[in-house]
Structure 1
Amino acid sequence: MKDTFKHKGLRQQLVNIIKTKGIQDENVLKAIGNVPRHLFMDSGFLDHAYQDKAFPIAADQTISQPYTVAFQTELLNVKKGDKILEIGTGSGYQTAVLCELGAKVFSIERQLELFKKTINFLPKLGYRAKKLVFGDGYKGLPEEAPFDGIIVTAGAPFVPKPLLNQLKIGGRLVIPVGNDVQVMTLFIRKDEKEFEQHEFGEFRFVPLLEDKN
């Protein structure tokens, strides 16, 4: 588990690339620059770790494109100490970025293979989520709600009501909505019943699967 000067240099190049694509939040750029993405991938694919693209991991899932991670994180507008729910732990890369920002991260993964791997792996890198849960992301985590922010890292065919309900007033839900292609959507909770909605272009994600266990 090495993170060399070469890796750090490659990360800085990656930061510059996502900056040119429009990411402006300095804290997000710094977090991307700090997280050793190559350690979240199979060692045979180190050449791909700092390219701005998604890459396959176990259980037919992917490690998200760094630009997409940065884009969603920027929309989430994370403040230090914020309570964030992540739907789809995956490789743990997005989880690590949220931890770098000082968030208290609660994360749900429904692929057991990934869950077992990531729950052991993240602490080895020094990233300690408040809670990693094996379960159904569509249901959220009502026992830990409300959250300052919720981030969904898979394509959802519709917006799950429980996730909207688990937001604090003023809280933000960032979710890619759609089937084959998703529209990145931000919901901001205005009060008990009202949500402000913004859309930010098309992305492609692996599907958010409902619990089959």
Structure 2
Amino acid sequence: VGTSDPRLRVRILPGVKQEHPADVMRGEETQIAGFLALNPGYDGIICLPGTHCKWAHVSAGEIVSFRTFMTGELFALLSRQSVLRHSVPASGWDEGAFADAVDRVMSRPESLAASLFGLRAEALLHDLDGTAARSRLSGLLIGAELAAAKPYWLGQQVALLGDTAIAAPYRAALMAQSVPVTLADAERMTLEGLKAAQAKEETT
């Protein structure tokens, strides 16, 4: 990409693709590069919570493999456009309800769909508190994600790159599984990744 201003040089970073299983990154790789620039020699798992959460295995300065989970998008769709919209408010947090839901679905991930409707049924029959319902919905979805991503985090150290509010539930869920977790600010990692890319370009 060019520009008419001679003082500027614009470049677009290409992203990352994985053939099997099919997956793509478009931006998260820059955050990973930033984390590695600040933590040279890091060997472990990097998790990037968000609309589409990424789990990446990093070793020797490279992404070995990664998987994407649509957990954030599922939460938005279920809480705003499904029958659960009548039971789940726009805000509120109950740490105990979240933790219980994570434990429930991690022990029985096949029960996810039934547990989701259970939120609506409990609201109708037992006046389930909206804050508890919202927290349980988050716990059920994140718990199902952790159950599926277990080959990534089991026995590993995990770096969480993300906004504190988004990363905090993941941190709580992982720490409940005795997983050592490091938090890093996503915005700073992005800037550090861009700086690392620029430095690499200037040396080539």
Q: TM-score, normalised by structure 2?
A: 0.29
Higher strand share: 1
Give TM-score, length-normalised by structure 1.
0.28
In terms of fraction of residues, the more helix-rich structure is 2
Where relative contact order (Cα < 8 A, 6+ residues apart) is larger, the structure is: 2
Higher Cα Rg, which structure: 2
